[in-house]
Chain A
Amino acid sequence: MGYTNGAMLIKREITNRFTKLYYEGKLETEIDKIPLIISPKMAKKPVRCCIYKEREVVNNRLISLLGIPITPTMDELMRPSDYIEIAKQREETPTCRLNIIDAACSSCSKEQHVVTNHCRGCVAQPCMLNCPKNAISFIDGKAEINADACVNCGICRNVCPFHAIINTPVPCEQACPVDAISKDKYGIARLDEDKCIHCGKCITACPYGAVTQKSHLYDVMKSIDNGKKVIAMLAPAVIGQYNVDLEKIISGVKELGFFDVVEVAVGAEMTAAEEAHEWKERMEEGAKFMTTSCCPAYVELAEKHITDLKPFVSTTPSPMVLTDRWVKTTHPDAITVFVGPCVAKRSEAINKSDVKYVLNFEELGAMLISKGIELSEQSTDVDIAAAGHVGRGFAQSGGVAAAIKTAIPEGVNEIIINGLDKPNMRALKSMGKGKCDGNFVEVMVCTDGCVAGPSCIADIRVAKRQLAKYLNRN
């Protein structure tokens, strides 16, 4: 997250209250009070239209925290407490489909270009003269856009000397790289699961916090309480997240009751070695290039949208999968939990691996806070020798290519796809047609890599610095 965002902070506050009640043993009796505490009767001005709407949104967030799908047809008489029993009995992992909270969606009006009252009706009239669709006319000395003719190309906005024309986008639709989110007939956002690659960009883009994940928090806390052998696997990006060294993070997470805590960087090193080997083989067989496979949103992109790319995607398992296999060689009965910044990892964990649950850094933070575990006061006396900096480097853009080049010092000509903006989407599509200037393509759907994932808690600049500091330490 690059900037402070109120919608995100309120989500975290609700998550913190949820985990706190759980640990106090009061979830069943007090979960329904959380909306009343967040939006009390005598509240100063509510942010949404009224406190009752705010409470309804909080209720839906709590239901999402219990891992329950929010659907337009769900029983409106059921309170969050009514869903606890379902969560308690549930053995299977909640699906990865994102929840859209109808009450939270503000039904933003369709994207449009609007002439503001800063238009001075100038003599040059560049907006009108440059509009390719003749959508602009001058009425009473001011420009006006005919919305039916406008195609939102943005030329008028760019040429206006007074910056008097603005674009009002629909943030979720604008953020989605694959057009998976659009409005239903009531103007509420709907996600098309067949198109969604679970990149999580809509979650961070929505200024109302209407898109949310189905959490596995309850399942993880329940499994620990039931005495199961629950093992946390921390993604490399964790190093940049909590303002303390990795050793202290691992000590703190152990305090939560996990049987063991391991780094996914261990699996990342295995992925690097195997992927380097695979690349060599493919090159010898005459392949033009190979792309990485560790970013699950990218793999879904290749599967669902740029299918031409699929044959070029490495078949080496991701660091999460290899870490899981490594853990299960010694603990075959373990319940493994991936902890990371990623939304798409939930999808990968559920559909393509034996990893049982996924937590994100916000949820892990809520568990730590609610148990009163202060990370800076944790012991540094833990053994973390299993992973090295090559694996930890997977957390940022360029890190996977660097790992491959460490394994194969010569002949790797890498292309780095850092984020899924429009130029990078075009580049990937043309690679699918076989046009690629390099022979190894690293793809990360989040700009800057996992350190900037949708469920990160640290400012990106701070996270990158913290990671660099740690990697330079040894």
Chain B
Amino acid sequence: MEKKIKVKICIGTLCYVMGGSELQLLEEHLPEELKKRVDIEGSICLGFCNSNEDEKPPFASVNGKCVSRASITKLINQIKKELEDGLH
């Protein structure tokens, strides 16, 4: 079976206050062809907030890779990139 892309969204208070709430809508904004290829889960803290001052919340990760200032568009682009990279 094809391996799914794993998306983790921070649902911690910091990321939520800093604009993370719209990420709750990621699933319904995924293009049809991506819906079955992605696993989305919430996580209280992904640990990125304390690691680097240059990276800003809200945080998410796609296959373990950090996405800072995450938005729905940014995450969809990153998912597509992961799928493409997986083909090579």
Contacts and interface: CB of A to CB of B under 8 A. Distances in A.
Given A243-B11, A459-B22, A374 B17 contact: no
A374 B15 CA distance: 11
Contacts of A458: 16, 21
Interface in B1-22: 11-14, 16-19, 21-22
A9 B11 contact: no
B87 interface: no
B13, B19, B22, B44 interface centre (most CB from chain A within 10 Å): B13
A9 B19 contact: yes
B19 to A, nearest CB: 5
B29 to A, nearest CB: 11
A462 interface: yes
Contacts of A196: none
Interface residues of A, number: 26
Given A374-B44, A376-B44, A459-B24, A13 B13 contact: no
Nearest to A456: B21
A243 B12 CA distance: 9
A375 interface: yes
Contact of A243 (B18, B24, B25): B24
A360 to B, nearest CB: 11
Contacts of B63: none
B interface residue count range (under 10 / 10 to 19 / 20 to 34 / 35 or more): 10 to 19
Nearest to B12: A374
B71 interface: yes
Interface stretch (A112-120, A305-313, A363-371): A363-371
Nearest to A368: B13
A8 B56 CA distance: 14
Interface in B33-73: 44-45, 56, 71
B42 to A, nearest CB: 9
A144 interface: no
B21 A365 contact: no
A300 interface: no
A373 interface: yes
A459 B23 CA distance: 9
Given A374-B44, A376-B44, A462 B22 contact: yes
Interface in A1-29: 3-4, 8-9, 12-13, 16
B25 A365 contact: no
B13 A373 contact: yes
Contacts of A242: 13, 16
Contacts of B22: 3-4, 459, 461-462
Contacts of A252: 13
Given A459-B24, A459-B25, A376 B19 contact: no
A362 B44 contact: no
Interface string A236-276: 00000011000000001000000000000000000000000
B44 A12 contact: no
Nearest to A366: B17
B17 A12 contact: yes
A232 to B, nearest CB: 16
B25 A462 contact: yes
6 contacts: A3-B22, A9-B19, A243-B11, A376-B11, A457-B16, A462-B25
Interface of B: 11-14, 16-19, 21-22, 24-25, 44-45, 56, 71
Top 5 closest pairs, chain A to chain B, by CB: A365-B17, A458-B21, A459-B22, A459-B21, A462-B21
Given A8-B19, A461-B25, 17 more contacts: A4-B19, A9-B56, A12-B18, A242-B16, A243-B21, A365-B13, A365-B16, A365-B17, A368-B17, A369-B17, A376-B12, A376-B13, A377-B44, A457-B16, A459-B21, A459-B22, A462-B22
